[in-house]
């Protein structure tokens, strides 16, 4: 997946960018995905 504009700041008070958020999701995916597989997520 390509993250467009990874430098875009999403949370200015904390300085968190789209790239930071994507990296965090990638980091927690192995732990989180087994718990949410086959569950509806909205």
Domain enclosing residue 20, as ranges: 1-42
Residue 42 has pLDDT above 80, yes or no: no
- The number of domains in the chain is 1
Tens digit of pLDDT for each residue in 7-28?
A: 999 999 999 999 999 999 999 9
Can you tell me the distance from the alpha carbon of 23 to that of 29, in angstroms, rounded to the nearest whole number? 10
Query: 20 burial class (0-12, 13-18, 19+ CB within 10 angstroms)?
Result: middle
Is the overall model pTM greater than 0.75, yes or no? yes
Question: What phi and psi, each to the nearest 5 degrees, are found at residue 15?
Answer: 70, 30
**Look-up: residue for tokens 């192995």?**
30
Beta strands in 1-42 (DSSP E): 9-11, 16-17
The average pLDDT across 22-42 equals: 93
pLDDT of residue 25: 96
């Amino acid at each position: 997946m390509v993250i467009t504009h990874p430098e875009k700041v999403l949370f200015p008070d904390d300085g968190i960018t789209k790239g930071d958020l994507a990296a965090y999701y990638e980091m927690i995916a192995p732990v989180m995905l087994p718990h949410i597989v086959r569950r509806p997520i909205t």
